[in-house]
Amino acid sequence: MSTFLSDRRARVAAALHLGDALLLVGAGEPILLPERTDQTYPFRADAEYYYLAAQECPGGVIAFDPRDGDHVGWVSFVPDVTEGERIWEGREQPPGVSIAALEPWLSARRGRPIVALGTPARDVESDAGLTAQARELLHHARRPKDATELALLRRTAVATAAGYVKLRSALRPGITERALQIELEAEFFRHGATRPGYGSIIGTGPNSAILHFSPCDRVVRDGDFVLVDAGAEIDRYMTDVTRTYVVGQPSAFQRDLYQIVLAAEEHAIARCVPGAEWRDVHLAAAMEMTAGLVHMGVMRGKPESLVEQDAHTLFFPHGLGHLVGLGVRDGSGQLPGRAKSTRPGLATLRLDLPLQAGYVVTVEPGLYFIPALLNDPARRERFRDCVNWPLAEQHLHLGGVRIEDNIAVTAGAPENLTAAIPKNL
């Protein structure tokens, strides 16, 4: 077994505090398509399994007995590949011990509590309390990225950058969102991607204000915002980048909006240092962008007071970012033991913890004109004096701007893994 995997497993063994409990981590099984055929969704092992196995293996189980020692107590049980799988899918027998040996392994340890992580086989009787505790600890232990993970993330950043260059060179009035998607994703693959990391988001014109817009056949027009949020994946690790462009000449209003978001993003990146509380980094960006909107005449009042009232959420309705790696939100959430904030302006944060060296975090501030928020009577009443409503209405179909990079937190200065993707409008 590779050294990185045995080091990773030993680190997890130390982090989980299993006591006398046994650990089983299941890969899960392929899921049938809702078409009543034998076809399945492309198989992706549960991330908790993949982290400890570094292989896709439907039906695989990683088992660990702490009594056998942090390094040697691990066994990888794998199903025997069938003839049908060899013929239809070209599968080879993965390394590991036959799954038939799992039952005797468990019988020899009868009476011990079981922690069942990953996607467990349905017949495992696990201890729910110990499992929930171990899941939180594993989640936290996966947050700092090891050298193998960082190397994969750097490769995905290279493939992602190539895709953005290609998309940008194709951008002109008359092209559709779909055609842009094809250029972007084909270039990801040409540069080693095994998949797009998630459904690519490409929103042009008013669609750029829809936070997770799936590209369609809309034709790009002169003066449109074009918001692209996409990233390449290699071996389950992915980059998550957003850039916003204007086709043709940006208006002064578009340029101002863009500069506010860009400055907030760059300042937030500089704040990604060990010990920084993510909610503070988020609130500082919210404050800066609110001040910018006041300066543009879109919002009215003192930025501190507007943010205190959560009025900024009219234009910046999401959190500043999340952790990324083995999955687009890998390791996000709260510090173990910390409850999710109930304050409306913080409840949308996907992350609430102090940053540590080794974390890779997305920084993705955005400002949007979202009709569903700006036309909402309750919000219009509540924030009556906070917004220049006639001006906001003039831009109801303008769309929005988001700029996103992936930042490796280090003991020194933050490292922007996606800095090679240009950020000019």
> Residue by residue, what is the 3-state secondary structure of 41-75?
CCCCCCHHHHHHHCCCCCCCEEEECHHHCCCCCEE
**Cα separation values, 231 from 162, 171, 197, 355, Å:** 10, 18, 6, 23
Closer to ligand GLY by CB, 198 or 389: give it: 198
Which residue is associated with the tokens 């300042």? Answer: 267
Closer to ligand GLY by CB, 63 or 355: give it: 355
Near ligand GLY by CB under 6 A: residue from 229, 233, 288, 330? 229
Residue 367: contacted member of Mn ion, ligand GLY, none (CB under 5 to 8 Å, by partner type): none
Nearest 10 degrees: Cα torsion 108, 109, 110, 112: 180
Structure tokens at 41: 């969704």
Closer to ligand GLY by CB, 5 or 363: give it: 363
Closer to Mn ion by CB, 102 or 241: give it: 241
Closer to ligand GLY by CB, 9 or 322: give it: 322
Residue 239: contacted member of ligand GLY, Mn ion, none (CB under 5 to 8 Å, by partner type): none
Work out how close the CB of 328 gets to ligand GLY at its nearest, in angstroms, rounded to a whole number. Answer: 6
What 8-state DSSP symbol labels residue 261?
H
Residue 210 to residue 369: CA distance in whole angstroms: 9
Structure tokens at 206: 């008013």
- Number of C-beta neighbours around residue 243 at 10 A: 23
Work out how close the CB of 81 gets to ligand GLY at its nearest, in angstroms, rounded to a whole number. Answer: 35
Please list every residue from 334 through 363 that binds Mn ion, using CB under 5 A.
362
Closer to ligand GLY by CB, 134 or 238: give it: 238
Looking only at the bridges linking them, the beta strands covering 61-64 and 74-78 are antiparallel
Binding mask 197-216 for ligand GLY (x = CB under 6 A): -x------------------
Binding mask 389-418 for ligand GLY (x = CB under 6 A): ------------------------------
Closer to ligand GLY by CB, 116 or 353: give it: 353
Work out how close the CB of 240 gets to ligand GLY at its nearest, in angstroms, rounded to a whole number. Answer: 5
Please say whether the dihedral angle defined by the alpha carbons of residues 169, 171, 174 and 176, taken in this order, is positive or negative: positive
Residue 240 is a binding residue for ligand GLY (CB under 6 A): yes
- Three-state DSSP at 87 gives helix
Residue 307 to residue 311: CA distance in whole angstroms: 6
Near Mn ion by CB under 5 A: residue from 65, 183, 233, 240? 240
Binding mask 361-390 for Mn ion (x = CB under 5 A): -x----------------------------
Please list every residue from 40 through 99 that binds ligand GLY, using CB under 6 A.
none
Work out how close the CB of 46 gets to ligand GLY at its nearest, in angstroms, rounded to a whole number. Answer: 20
Please list every residue from 316 through 355 that binds ligand GLY, using CB under 6 A.
328
Burial class (CB in 10 A: 0-12, 13-18, 19+), 309: middle
Residue 212 to residue 145: CA distance in whole angstroms: 27
Q: Could you list the residues that contact ligand GLY (CB under 6 A)?
A: 198, 229, 240, 328
* Binding residues vs Mn ion (CB under 5 A): 240, 362
